[in-house]
Amino acid sequence: MPPDAVAEIEALYRTHGPTLLLFASAMTCERGRAQDAVHQVFLRLIESGNRLEVRDTRAYLLTCVRNAILNDVKARLRHVELADEPAWFAPPDRDFSAERNLRFALAALPDDQRQVVVLHLWGELTFLEIAEVLSISANTAASRYRYALSKLRESMGVQEKSCAKS
C-alpha cells in the first residue's frame, strides 16, 4: 500500500475515530467490542488498498461501523448489558451522580432512539446525515430524537416549563 494512502487512512482515523468509537459504544454497550468494530473498519480500508472515494466520509465510516457491529451481534446472538465504563464526556465540574444517571437513562432508551441521540448530540450529525447512516428518513430520525429527549427528561426528572396559565 502506498505511503500516502496509509497517511490518508491514519488522518481519517485521527479525525473520525472518537466519533466512531462513541457511536459504536452506544450501539454495543461495551467499549471493547466498540473498539474492535472501529478497528475492523480501518483494517478493511488498509487491506483494500483503495482510496476512499465517497460523498460523505463521516457518514460512510459511521455506516461501516454500524454494519460491523450488526454483523457481530448476529454472530454472537446475545445481549450485553451496559458495563460501568468511564465517562463518555468530561465536563469541567463533573457531577458524577448526574452523569451516572444520564448513562443509565441513555441505556434504558430503545436502541433506535439511543443511536439517534448519540449521533446527533455527540456525533454532531444532522438528521439528514443520521437518516443516511441508519437507513431511515430524516423525519423518522427527528421523531426518534424527540421521543428520546422526552424519555430522558422524564427519567432525569426535568420539568418542562409551560406557557399556559393555570
CATH number at residue 116: 1.10.10.10
User: Number of structural domains, the chain?
Assistant: 2
Whether 152 shows a pLDDT value over 70: the answer reads yes
Q: What is the DSSP string of 104-121?
A: HHHHHS-HHHHHHHIIII
Residue 44 near residue 4 (C-beta atoms within 8 A) = no
- Full domain range(s) for residue 105: 94-157
Asked whether residue 23 is assigned to any structural domain, the reply reads yes
Asked whether residue 164 is assigned to any structural domain, the reply reads no
Asked whether residue 27 is assigned to any structural domain, the reply reads yes
Whether 147 shows a pLDDT value over 80: the answer reads yes
Mean pLDDT of the 21-29 span: 91
Q: What is the DSSP string of 25-77?
A: HHHHS-HHHHHHHHHHHHHHHHHH------S-HHHHHHHHHHHHHHHHHHHH-
The pLDDT tens digits for 84-139 are 655 555 555 667 777 788 888 888 999 999 999 999 988 889 999 999 999 999 99
Asked whether residue 165 is assigned to any structural domain, the reply reads no
CATH number at residue 57: 1.10.1740
Q: Is 142 helix (H, G, I), strand (E, B) or coil?
A: helix
User: Is residue 71 located within the same domain as residue 98?
Assistant: no
User: Is residue 111 located within the same domain as residue 134?
Assistant: yes
Asked whether residue 141 is assigned to any structural domain, the reply reads yes
What's the one-letter identity of residue 142?
A
User: Is residue 38 located within the same domain as residue 101?
Assistant: no
Q: Is 100 helix (H, G, I), strand (E, B) or coil?
A: helix
> 23, 46, 81: which is the final residue of a domain?
81
The pLDDT tens digits for 27-84 are 888 899 999 999 999 999 888 877 778 889 999 999 999 999 998 888 876 555 555 6
User: Is residue 41 located within the same domain as residue 6?
Assistant: yes
